[in-house]
Amino acid sequence: MSTSNLGGQFTFPGTSLTVRRMGYGAMQLAGRDGNKLVWGPPRDIDGAIAVLREAVASGVNHIDTSDFYGPHITNQLIRRALHPYPENLVIVTKVSARRGEDGSWLPAMSPEELTQAVHDNLRNLGLDALDVVNLRSMFAVHGPAEGSLEEPLTTLAELREKGLIRHIGLSNATRKQVEDGQKIVPIVCVQNSYNVANRADDPLIDELEKAGIAYVPFFPLGGFNPLQSSALSDVAQTLNATPMQVALAWLLHRSSNILLIPGTSSVEHLRENLGAAELTLPPDALKVLDQLVNKTDAAQH
């Protein structure tokens, strides 16, 4: 696939890091039997490496990962596939969780655990410093919940002062946590669950756009419960595209600070996702898509 502009470019605030808006999320590379557990090596290691190399060859220069994917597996695959890294490649990782022996996701937000996690990411990625580290709030595993992030953010800020981290973001965070976090350390991005049907973060996205801060939706296609909508399918059919391409294209249209990191372990699916960046949504299609918002999310505004 030839390199395209992949949705245009975005520069993280206060940094020299410029990425194409269509990136790649590496979570699905870990695990043999589907994505839900994200545990152990992939069934097809060569296939996983091929996906990473295809992404970069296609122009992707923003890869999202974490050392708790696998654990360790995804970062090791990234290093094996891409190291030494292209000069313009930005690797964003996240910390604050560890994996139980049963694959469960457990909080790991103490200074000692966060410091160890940063060193694990550095070692497995083969880096001297991490471009961006997102602190994932673990007060609730499956969505944002209030609670102070002062101590873990202070720990990451100290690691930044030591040169192990260049920039810091937040994940699974509330608006208040973002506001409070910015008083401790510059926040360059926020990574929360968001897609065409689930838009609880609409006000936050608008605020971040005004501040020039990136918003990176995880589960942009619904995650473990893929988006399904007859209206979405109808729009896709009229545009000769897939529903998932339309959902991704809508996100790129939604706001200029949105960066996409759809994940896949298939080269074919990767190419389909990247193709969404070339899709133009006409006004009538946008009108339909804008009305897909989940009633539960709409009630929160």
> Would residue 69 show up in a list of annotated catalytic residues for this protein?
yes
Catalytic residue among 69, 85, 194, 215: 69
Tell me the two tokens of residue 283: 């006004």
CA distance 276 to 181: 33
* Residue pointed to by tokens 């990962």: 65
CA distance 281 to 239: 8
Nearest alpha-carbon partner for 69 in 133, 114, 22, 25: 25
**Angular region, 231: left φ>0, alpha ψ -120 to 50, beta rest:** alpha
> Is residue 52 a contact partner of residue 26, using CB atoms and an 8 Å limit?
yes
H or E segment to which residue 116 belongs: helix 111-125
Q: Which amino acid is at 71?
A: P
Annotated active-site positions, please? 69
